[in-house]
Structure 1
């Protein structure tokens, strides 16, 4: 997959790690997180805070004008929020699809059993999950992966249980265990890009990356 260049930093990365911007028919810059919109695109590889600073200083406007070769494009004041919402929706949609495909398990007891059996490829926690509950499942995952004594742990997502429950069509979803390796792979890039944008490094990773560290994300994003 060819790399793309961030219009603000000049750094290059795979499209899966960047956010694409496109121009709507009315000339407004809009997020195109799925990369499907027709026409020329511009790519961002910065966090929300960095984007807001670039907007405030006029740097984004100049970069977009050069990228689109058009100085008349309109940049909505809430572009950072629109990007955050689009990235969140994409991740929630994928979780819903994986739930319908039976590629994940919810409920602390079921997750603990699956984790101790070595069946968990990725472990996710809601932002408002209790610390004790997280620790218990993280420990069960380490046991199942024969990684006791390590700092291997699940990801704390930037949303709470209400958002996860809506996405999956289930009640009180606080913890999620991905039990299918391919599903974990599909989720990895989406979660990494989303969490990086909102200012949270990607925490627990699928099985091949036991060195990953959990990073708690603020629940109010």
Structure 2
């Protein structure tokens, strides 16, 4: 996706705004996450993982970068900020899944997803953390066949969420696999899920599958799944 770019205040790397996390300064001098970039006033942007952010906290690098971004020495950074960002990103991702489910852009049920995959309609594929490896492989193979990409590493993305959480978010029972046939919906989900998964890093993600959409790479410190790549600036 195109759009405005920003720079990460810690790395100075630039990237699309939608790929970064915005931080804002509250009236109490505390720094809070603004993952939907809706809060008024000046913002500072980060594109690092939680582990990298936690390393920057005790060294004072984050506070110094925020003080420069906000042009204020009255900046308080809580040790709980990384956890707050992770929680906000996860909620944003779950909210997006719920919105897409209500809009009818998601498929659940292995048979329905497999049929869409084999007919070339599938745009993105996700699995619960406790999905079976065999079930994930079967759907991935159907996707490769329908996309005429047999022999490639095209797969679904395993989310760091078990099926009860996904089921609650979608308002459906026993959600193990999620398919997306609408390209715009796949982009929206890729953005929300990609930011969250990049921030938490690869370790919490189980392993049967890796990529979120055609041509995407597995999440890691330097790559985000689907339509997202990381890093950017304050405004």
- Asked if TM exceeds 0.5, the reply is yes
Q: Is the 8 A contact 2:126 2:158 kept in 1?
A: yes
Q: Is the 8 A contact 1:151 1:213 kept in 2?
A: no
Distance (whole Å) between structure 2 residues aligned to residue 78 and residue 72 of structure 1: 18
Matched, 1:135 2:137: yes
Partner of 1:126: 128
Partner of 2:232: none
TM-score normalized with structure 1 length: 0.91
Partner of 1:11: 13
Matched, 1:106 2:108: yes
Return the match for 1:212 from 216, 220, 233: 216
Give CA-to-partner distance per residue, 1:109-153, whole Å, 9 cap, x none.
Answer: 111111111111100011121111111111111111111111100
Distance (whole Å) between structure 2 residues aligned to residue 17 and residue 65 of structure 1: 22
Distance (whole Å) between structure 1 residues aligned to residue 176 and residue 80 of structure 2: 30
Partner of 2:230: none
TM-score normalized with structure 2 length: 0.86
Written as runs of structure 1 = structure 2, the 5 A alignment for 1:1-221 is 1-200=3-202, 203-206=210-213, 210-214=214-218
Q: Is the 8 A contact 2:198 2:219 kept in 1?
A: no
Q: Which has the higher contact order (CA 8 A, sep 6+)?
A: 2
Q: In structure 2, list runs of 5 or more residues that go unmatched.
A: 221-235
Q: In structure 1, list runs of 5 or more residues that go unmatched.
A: 217-221
RMSD: 1.8
Distance (whole Å) between structure 2 residues aligned to residue 213 and residue 64 of structure 1: 31
Q: Is the 8 A contact 2:197 2:219 kept in 1?
A: no
Q: Is the 8 A contact 2:126 2:212 kept in 1?
A: no
- CA positional deviation for 1:67: 0.9
Aligned length: 213
- CA positional deviation for 1:214: 4.3
Distance (whole Å) between structure 2 residues aligned to residue 129 and residue 122 of structure 1: 16
Distance (whole Å) between structure 2 residues aligned to residue 18 and residue 214 of structure 1: 18
